[in-house]
Structure 1
Amino acid sequence: MIRITDRIALDESEIEESFIRSAGPGGQNVNKLATAVQLRFDVRGSPSLPEDVRERLEKLAGRRLTREGVLVLTAQRFRTQERNRQDALERLVELVRKATERQAPRRPTRPTLGSRKRRLEGKTRRGTVKRLRRVQSGEE
């Protein structure tokens, strides 16, 4: 079990890993060894995620989510499979942890009376300056 929060834990069987050739560092080995990790997690089919977390995770995943609702993370920062596996898993945990956080609903606010008066005074002042810059009818 991979612990996300005290209420949410993902089962390892829900995560599928495959190894692909990496485009990152590796010297001569880069063309021979499959060190990059492609982690797949079925967001829509996961029994471990509550519905609200699932919806937020789908929004957070963006283009990393397939049409079928599978989250695909590719890790190729490091030169070894093991470190890339760790990196991909940490990124998944971080993404799910972010999805567990609810955003506070926005409460619409109104400008104060003082701020409205200051705004209107500024507009009046600016209009006066512009009016004084105009060419007078008898001056030209």
Structure 2
Amino acid sequence: MEEDIILRELEYKAVRSSGPGGQHANKTATKVELSFDVSNSEALTEDEKNRLHKKLSGRINKDGILKISSEDSRSQHANREIATANFLSEIKEALKKPKKRKKTKPTKASKLKRLKEKKRKSEIKANRKDPLK
């Protein structure tokens, strides 16, 4: 993943933000929508593209475009920065390879402890039986 190339491939669109805000919200486009074409990106390898499609399948549309929006701030510039930061963190998280599990064996002490407890349980149950039979 080449971050500087990805940042050049991003497309931003400013739209009117929803919710309250009065006159300011009615005349300024402060919400920022970020679009990234995962399928046609030159910064990602095919393996990375496949991993992103798999991990972010709910956020990527059928055209292969990942969309993220931000309307946290009243400033378009701040929302652009927030959307970019959120996008980069999502991409990095999705591209992380999970660690392989190392197989471990139980220790000798844990085996002995298990067998000791098993023996104790069986003795308890054996003592419940009627001695006349």
- Give the TM-score category using the shorter length: 0.7 to 0.9
The match for 1:16 is 11
Question: 5+ residue gaps in structure 1?
Answer: none
2:56/2:94 contact within 8 Å kept: no
Distance in 2 (CA, whole Å) between partners of 1:46 and 1:90 is: 18
CA shift at 1:46, angstroms? 0.6
Between the two proteins, the alignment pairs up a number of residues equal to 130
After superposition, the Cα gap between the structure-2 partners of 1:135 and 1:39, relative to the gap in structure 1 and judged at 3 Å, is: same
Query: Structure 1 length normalisation: TM-score?
Result: 0.71
In angstroms, what is the RMSD of aligned CA positions? 2.8
1:83 aligns with 2:44: no
After superposition, the Cα gap between the structure-2 partners of 1:136 and 1:22, relative to the gap in structure 1 and judged at 3 Å, is: farther
1:84 maps to amino acid: N
The match for 1:67 is 62
CA shift at 1:54, angstroms? 2.1
Distance in 2 (CA, whole Å) between partners of 1:32 and 1:135 is: 85
Query: Structure 2 length normalisation: TM-score?
Result: 0.74
CA shift at 1:39, angstroms? 0.9
Candidates 44, 50, 59, aligned match of 1:55: 50
CA shift at 1:94, angstroms? 2.0
Q: Deviations over 1:1-30 (max 9, x none)?
A: xx62xxx63252x22222233346x62133
2:92 maps to amino acid: R
1:74/1:88 contact within 8 Å kept: yes
After superposition, the Cα gap between the structure-2 partners of 1:121 and 1:33, relative to the gap in structure 1 and judged at 3 Å, is: farther
* SS class of match (2:43): coil
CA shift at 1:48, angstroms? 1.0
Q: Deviations over 1:11-64 (max 9, x none)?
A: 52x22222233346x621334433211111011111111223223323342421
* SS class of match (2:58): helix
Distance in 1 (CA, whole Å) between partners of 2:126 and 2:18 is: 65
Candidates 6, 9, 21, aligned match of 1:27: 21
1:114 aligns with 2:115: no
